Amino acid sequence: MNIDVDKILETGAKVVDSAKKTAVELAQKGKKQVDLLDAQAKKSKAERQLGALVYSLAKNGEENELLVKKYIDAIAAIEADIEELRKEVPAEEQPCEAPAETEAPTAPEACAETAKKTCPQCGAEVEEDALFCNGCGAQL
């Protein structure tokens, strides 16, 4: 029986290289998914802040279109970032919109189960329990 140690070492090195490559690819995919979730959470927070600002201004009978526009522009920039990140993550691996801070991330296959409705003013998709449209601000 003749054992070729060099061949065994060569095969082992190939297996290690393949495992390393796979691990790096998985880590990169995971990072992109985390980046997408972070951007979605950032958007959600900015939308809540905008809503609180608009409510506060309305409650006090004030207007500040410049500040409201600044928030809207910031949200638009975040949405652009999200779209870029979505191009990098395959559709089947994309997470749902970011959950509230107290909820666990939603698995992609559960995304379709989230109840949605559309705004009668602009047609934007909104959560079933939303009071105002996150697209145009109309009361639902």
Q: How many other CB atoms sit within 10 Å of the CB of residue 133? A: 20
Contact 91, 105 (CB under 8 A): no
Give the helix ranges, DSSP H, for 60-138.
Answer: 65-88
Q: How many other CB atoms sit within 10 Å of the CB of residue 73? A: 10
What pTM does this model have? Answer: 0.57
What is the pLDDT at residue 115?
53
pLDDT per 10-residue tile (average), the chain, 140 residues: 84 93 89 91 92 92 93 95 88 63 47 66 82 80
| 127 phi/psi in degrees, rounded to 5 | -65, 150
